């Protein structure tokens, strides 16, 4: 019985649960490790994303017999050019539109308060059984508006502190990226050398599978988000929607979140359209539908294909669970994390089936 795979799997599962239990009840032992990981998490993740984005460029340059170090230098030069273009041409327009939005925020709040006043003046036509619910909703809405207005200063102070910390961590990203591009492909041979032939080949296939999963998701999702952002910007400019560039950039960022991102992207656009011209809300919805149809039928199948093979219902479940547990970061990382775990489990499952056949 001890040699049975089901028994060995059961023992491994029990040991994993015991490990989690020990970590939970002795967290002070692992606290320095968690602090170290959290301190370097941002530059490592940011450099990892840039690594998968820029690695194809390095490989393409190497095909033309350009040395790797020179190829990495070209990649960094391209990143600097892109950053220069964003800072000098896109950022000023986005900042100007955001400033206009902030200046118009009080008038938007006044319009909401006028709607509440109008609603209250017509309460006599509303059945009494609904009055308590309506009053509760009004109080919550008014309280939320006051919290946003009063807490904006504290928000700015906290944001400035986070920006300073962010800039410090941002400096580390180029160093991590350089060594990832230079030595990243040496990790798999380094790990494989500690195993015998069959195990070494298995580890090599596992690394390749995980690498393909991460590469497909990161490159595909960023390209899809970029194209969707462009489509939204073109549509918003056509209908002359206020803050079109800012709203399109917001849509580009939120589309990084699978499935839920497109719906989050359209919320601020609908609100802006509602205050600009209520009839424009319909056009915003039409633009969103057109952009999602183009993305779903043409862009995503050709860019990402079926590399991840994750059912839409699974994506919805993961996003709902991750959002409630870890907030925005959970929404951002749950799908690639699940895809990597799925690739690892699938690899060992196939290895077990292959061992039984022989």
pLDDT (average), residues 108-115: 66
**Burial class of residue 140, CB neighbours in 10 A (0-12, 13-18, 19+):** exposed
- Give the Cα separation of 339 and 345 in Å (integer): 10
Q: Which two tokens stand for residue 42?
A: 């941002």
Give the domain ranges of the chain. 1-98+170-184, 196-357
Predicted pLDDT of residue 220: 82
The pLDDT tens digits of the residues spanning 201-243 come to 888 888 888 888 888 888 888 888 888 889 899 999 998 888 8
> What's the rounded Cα separation, in Å, for the pair 180 and 174?
10
For position 254, what pLDDT does the model report? 84
Is the pLDDT reported for residue 44 higher than 60? yes
Radius of gyration of the chain from its Cα atoms, rounded to whole angstroms: 26
Indicate the average pLDDT of the chain: 77
For residue 69, the model assigns a pLDDT of: 92
pLDDT at 55: 92
For the stretch 118-166, pLDDT in tens is: 666 665 555 555 556 555 655 555 555 555 444 545 555 565 666 666 6
Cβ neighbours of 300 (radius 10 Å) = 20
Per-residue pLDDT for 352 more than 70?
Answer: yes
């Amino acid at each position: 019985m001890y040699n049975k795979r089901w028994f060995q799997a059961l023992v491994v599962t029990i040991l994993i649960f015991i490990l989690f239990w020990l970590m939970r009840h002795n967290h002070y032992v692992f606290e320095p490790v968690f602090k170290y990981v959290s301190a370097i998490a941002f530059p490592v993740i940011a450099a990892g994303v840039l690594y998968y984005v820029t690695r194809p460029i390095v490989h393409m340059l190497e095909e033309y017999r350009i040395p790797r170090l020179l190829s990495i230098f070209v990649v960094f030069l391209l990143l600097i050019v892109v950053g220069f273009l964003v800072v000098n041409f896109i950022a000023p327009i986005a900042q100007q539109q955001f400033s206009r939005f902030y200046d118009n925020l009080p008038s938007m709040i006044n319009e909401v308060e006028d709607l509440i006043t109008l609603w209250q003046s017509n309460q006599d036509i509303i059945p009494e059984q609904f009055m308590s619910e309506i009053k509760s909703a009004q109080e919550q809405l008014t309280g939320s508006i006051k919290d946003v207005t009063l807490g904006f200063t504290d928000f700015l102070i906290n944001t400035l502190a986070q920006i300073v910390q962010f800039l410090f961590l941002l400096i580390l990203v180029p160093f991590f990226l350089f060594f990832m591009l230079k030595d990243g492909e040496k990790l798999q041979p380094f790990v494989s050398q500690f195993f015998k032939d069959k195990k070494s080949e298995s580890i090599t296939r596992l690394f390749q599978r995980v690498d393909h999963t991460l590469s497909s998701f990161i490159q595909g999702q960023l390209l899809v988000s970029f194209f969707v952002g462009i489509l939204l910007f073109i549509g918003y400019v056509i209908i002359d929607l206020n803050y079109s560039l800012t709203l399109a950039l917001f849509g580009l960022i939120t589309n990084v979140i699978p499935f839920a991102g497109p719906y989050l992207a359209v919320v601020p656009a609908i609100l802006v359209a509602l205050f600009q011209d209520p009839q424009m809300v319909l056009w915003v919805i039409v633009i969103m539908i057109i952009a999602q149809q183009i993305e779903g039928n043409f862009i995503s199948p050709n860019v990402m294909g079926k590399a991840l093979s994750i059912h839409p219902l699974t994506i919805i479940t993961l996003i709902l669970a991750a959002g409630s547990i870890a907030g925005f970061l959970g929404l951002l990382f749950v799908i690639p994390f699940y895809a990597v775990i799925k690739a690892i489990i699938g690899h060992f499952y196939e290895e077990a089936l292959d061992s039984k056949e022989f």
